[in-house]
Amino acid sequence: MSEIDGLSFDEWLDREKRQIESAERQTQRPAGGQSRRVQSQRPAPARPAVRVQPDAPRPAPERAPSGLWDKWKIPLIALTAVLLLGVMALAAGFAYASKVAKIETIYPNVSVNGVAVGGMTVDQAAALLGDAPDKYDNAAVTVKFSTGESVTVTAQQLGLEPVDGTAFAQAAYDYGRDGSLLANMKDYLSCRSDGMQMRVDLADAGGVDVNAIEALVAPVAQQVDEKLGATQAQIGENEITLVKDAGGQTVDVAAVCAMVQDAFEREDYADIEYDPIAQGMQQGQTVDRDAVLQQLYDAVYAEAADAMYDPVTGGITDSVTGVRFDMDQARQIWDAAAPGADVVIPLIKEEPALTSEKLGGMLFADVLAEKSTTLYGSIPARINNITLAAQAMNGTVLQPGQEFDYNACLGQRTAAKGYQEAGAFEGGKHVMSIGGGICQGSSTLYYCAVKANLAITERYCHQFVVTYLPRGMDATVSWGFPNFKFVNDRTFPIRIEAWVSDGNLNIRLMGTNVDGSYVDLTNETWEDDTHYYAQTYRNVYDANGNLISSTKEAYSSYDKEEAVQATPEPTQAPVQEPVQEQDVYVPPAVTEPEYTEPEYTEPEDDTQGDIQTETDTEMQAPPEAPPADAA
């Protein structure tokens, strides 16, 4: 530090200040004071006696002569001294400021983040600051929402990088060196007297990236909003509980982000508790009562639904318990509650008539109908065709209201599918045709459908009487036309079981007989010279055997066979192109197949089955000449 007149700068300033104050006191002494002291030292001169005459004028007193210099001499001397001292002080100040500018260390009493670096070089301070623990290493702020969600924001996520010791050491060194000489000297003297505490600025540490805060907070806030949108309702087994006027609020993302930013700037890493409901209610926010209740109603409402059989999985669907609440009652409960109080709304439940457990014990539990028709006397080819038909039908499940289509179920009968030539009726004669004999499958199934009290939607009798079922209880089919169809008009699914064993075609319909009723199928038969006739009746009885109803089922007319008819030997049948199986049946155009006139042989005679029961549908007359595979 420089010296003036052998004194330090501070000592010199104190001396000069005392001299100036002494000069000022001299200039403030009253004028004439000194003259009063002089008069007291000198005797007053003798004055001659004067006799005063009456009314004579009094003589004026004598005045000592005075000059301008005597009047302003002392003030001018004092002013000159002050100016001289000011110039000297200013010169000394500039000299001192120049010396301060040459200091190569950090000003005294300077610290960075509480670390004293005064009097150090930049390198020394940088080494010291670099070894100090970084205050952002483990810095994190967690926001906890009243709905249970939380989000944690770390300093690293916000770009607050570790402190660069060199940068902050340089900042400490640069303090008080970016102004004028006198301004820098003033900062220097301030550091000496008061010190300087420097803090790490967030911008210098990487800055608080508000967009980064929002990117972390916004997704969690959306989850909170979804809960708030559900009005914070707790849906129990028998009631709904919610807080009145809660649900119209949403998370103020900007406010939450500002809280996080402020926490990092203040280095306050305590958890932030945020309750959007309380915030909204403090601001007097309320919600639309009817909108909230309607939203709740839509959320909990469920219509009671019975369990059902799933044809895709082969299992049982879950039953559904109906749930709702009385809207008028809910409004009254809401209005009676105070803001912020719990609103408890009772639920109304309706159990399904058929639960999953109940259906599991009832599904396909009962035999609705079953029938075995003999294959006695049938050639192997005919038995093969009937076996393929049984395999096609077996396992078919019909839901309530679903229609069964025999032709669609079997598909077109082709050699590619394994069907063979067997006897069939065509044009009033016995012929050999691919798929001959499958009408025994449709007839046996028709018999069971009537016995199960199902609705028959399409059925035709054969042109001639068959021997495996009583008259009026058969159903002829051919690819395209005629066809056999029925509908499951019961309340539960039914399953068809069909198989060939021990020289019989066996068909069974499994389902659920809820009331124990059953059908007895009877017929009346007569004939004339050219035809046989049959009228069948569907007789429905209750579980106790009481007749519920008796209706006409079907009218059938059969041609009488000529005295001489031929049952042909197998011949080479025309080659038929196989067709793809289709989920939706589209019948092809019906064409009359070509065939070879066979030689006469005695026709096959299948054993006629015993009489059983059927259902009432509108009578349908058979076609004049069914196509070839009708047998």
366: amino acid identity, one letter: D
The pLDDT of residue 372 is: 97
- Name, of 163-172, 276-285, 304-313, 560-569, the range with top average pLDDT: 304-313
Top pLDDT among 610 and 475 is at 475
CB 359 within 8 A of CB 343: no
Top pLDDT among 137 and 201 is at 137
The mean per-residue pLDDT over the stretch 195-221 comes to: 76
The pLDDT of residue 451 is: 97
pLDDT digits (tens, 9 = 90+) for 562-599: 433 333 444 333 333 333 333 333 333 333 333 333 33
Could you give the angle at the alpha carbon of 427 between the alpha carbons of 423 and 431, nearest 5°?
Answer: 20
What lies within 8 Å, CB to CB, of 267 at 6+ separation is 135, 139
**Lowest-pLDDT choice from 146-150, 156-160, 210-214:** 156-160
CA atoms within 13 A on the CB side of 437: 30
Distance, in Å, from the CA atom of 422 to the CA atom of 417, rounded to the nearest integer, reads: 15
Q: Which residues in 294-446 belong to E strands, given as ranges?
A: 322-324, 342-346, 348-350, 366-374, 397-398, 403-405, 421-426, 429-434
Residue 287's pLDDT band (cuts 50, 70, 90)? confident
Secondary structure (3-state) at 434: strand
Task: Indicate if the pLDDT at residue 237 is higher than 50.
Answer: yes
Q: Would the CA dihedral through 626, 627, 630, 631 be positive or negative?
A: positive
Distance, in Å, from the CA atom of 26 to the CA atom of 22, rounded to the nearest integer, reads: 6
CB 443 within 8 A of CB 626: no
Residue 100 tokens, joined: 């301060």
**Lowest-pLDDT choice from 25-39, 426-440, 485-499:** 25-39
Distance, in Å, from the CA atom of 600 to the CA atom of 565, rounded to the nearest integer, reads: 7
288 CB neighbour count, 10 Å cutoff: 11
Residue ranges of the domains in the chain?
A: 133-175+188-234+242-260, 288-354, 364-559
- Name, of 7-16, 125-134, 274-283, 304-313, the range with top average pLDDT: 304-313
Q: At 541, which helix (H) or strand (E)?
A: strand 531-541
The pLDDT of residue 202 is: 54
CB 475 within 8 A of CB 445: yes
Q: Are strands 429-434 and 196-198 parallel, antiparallel or unpaired?
A: unpaired
Top pLDDT among 528 and 106 is at 528
Distances from the Cα of 229 to the Cαs of 248, 271, 274, 527, in angstroms? 7, 25, 17, 80
Pick from 451, 430, 460, 443: which is nearest to 595 by CA?
A: 430
The pLDDT of residue 135 is: 64
456-491 burial: b if 16+ Cβ within 10 Å, else e: bbbbbbbbbbbbbbbbbbbbbbbbebbbbbbbbebe
pTM given for the model? 0.47
User: For the chain, what is the radius of gyration of the CA atoms?
Assistant: 59
Distance, in Å, from the CA atom of 631 to the CA atom of 461, rounded to the nearest integer, reads: 10
Any idea how long the chain is? 631
**Lowest-pLDDT choice from 219-223, 225-229, 332-336, 565-569:** 565-569
The pLDDT of residue 582 is: 30
The pLDDT of residue 138 is: 77
Residue 346's pLDDT band (cuts 50, 70, 90)? very high
Residue 556's pLDDT band (cuts 50, 70, 90)? very high
pLDDT digits (tens, 9 = 90+) for 76-106: 777 787 787 777 777 766 677 677 777 878 8
Task: Indicate if the pLDDT at residue 13 is higher than 60.
Answer: yes
CB 224 within 8 A of CB 251: yes
- Name, of 34-48, 99-113, 211-225, 363-377, the range with top average pLDDT: 363-377
Task: Indicate if the pLDDT at residue 620 is higher than 80.
Answer: no
32-70 burial: b if 16+ Cβ within 10 Å, else e: eeeeeeeeeeeeeeeeeeeeeeeeeeeeeeeeeeeeeee
Find how far residue 304's CA is from the centre of its chain: 25
Residue 330's pLDDT band (cuts 50, 70, 90)? very high
Pick from 97, 107, 101: which is nearest to 9 by CA?
A: 97
Top pLDDT among 265 and 118 is at 118
Distance, in Å, from the CA atom of 220 to the CA atom of 148, rounded to the nearest integer, reads: 10
**Lowest-pLDDT choice from 119-123, 152-156, 274-278, 289-293:** 274-278
Task: Tell me phi and psi for residue 296, to 5 degrees.
Answer: -65, -45
Distance, in Å, from the CA atom of 152 to the CA atom of 271, rounded to the nearest integer, reads: 9
Residue 551 pairs with which residues in a beta bridge? 538
pLDDT digits (tens, 9 = 90+) for 166-207: 777 888 888 878 877 778 777 888 888 888 877 765 545 556
Task: Indicate if the pLDDT at residue 27 is higher than 60.
Answer: no
Q: Which residues in 229-284 belong to E strands, given as ranges?
A: 234-235, 239-243, 272-274
What lies within 8 Å, CB to CB, of 356 at 6+ separation is 307, 316, 317, 318, 319
Q: In what order do the strands lie in the sheet with 518-527?
A: 518-527, 531-541, 547-559
Residue 628's pLDDT band (cuts 50, 70, 90)? very low
Prior bond to 493 cis, omega within 30? no
- Give percent of the chain with pLDDT exceeding 70: 70
What lies within 8 Å, CB to CB, of 225 at 6+ separation is 250, 251
Task: Indicate if the pLDDT at residue 32 is higher than 90.
Answer: no
Q: Are strands 397-398 and 403-405 parallel, antiparallel or unpaired?
A: unpaired
pLDDT digits (tens, 9 = 90+) for 359-382: 888 889 999 999 999 999 899 999
Top pLDDT among 368 and 356 is at 368
The pLDDT of residue 262 is: 86
The pLDDT of residue 470 is: 96
Task: Indicate if the pLDDT at residue 467 is higher than 50.
Answer: yes
The pLDDT of residue 590 is: 33
The pLDDT of residue 428 is: 72
Task: Indicate if the pLDDT at residue 489 is higher than 60.
Answer: yes
The pLDDT of residue 87 is: 73
Residue 62's pLDDT band (cuts 50, 70, 90)? low
What lies within 8 Å, CB to CB, of 28 at 6+ separation is none
The pLDDT of residue 229 is: 61
Top pLDDT among 531 and 112 is at 531
- Give percent of the chain with pLDDT exceeding 90: 36
